[in-house]
Amino acid sequence: MQTIERLMKVFQVVFEESVDAAKITPESSLREDIGINSIGLLYMAMAVEEEFGIKFTNEDFSAIRTVGDVIACIEAKC
The domains of the chain, with CATH numbers, are 3-77 (1.10.1200.10)
Q: How far is CA 51 from the centre of its chain?
A: 11
Give residues with Cβ within 8 angstroms of 56, minimum separation 6: 45, 48, 49, 64, 73
Q: In this structure, how many other beta carbons lie within 10 angstroms of the beta carbon of residue 48?
A: 22
- What pLDDT does 69 receive? 96
- What pLDDT does 21 receive? 75
Which amino acid is residue 37, in one-letter code? N
* pTM listed for this prediction: 0.88
Q: Flag residues of the chain having pLDDT under 50.
A: none
**Signed CA dihedral, 62, 66, 71, 72: sign only:** negative
Summarised one tens digit per residue, pLDDT across range 51-60 is: 999 999 999 9
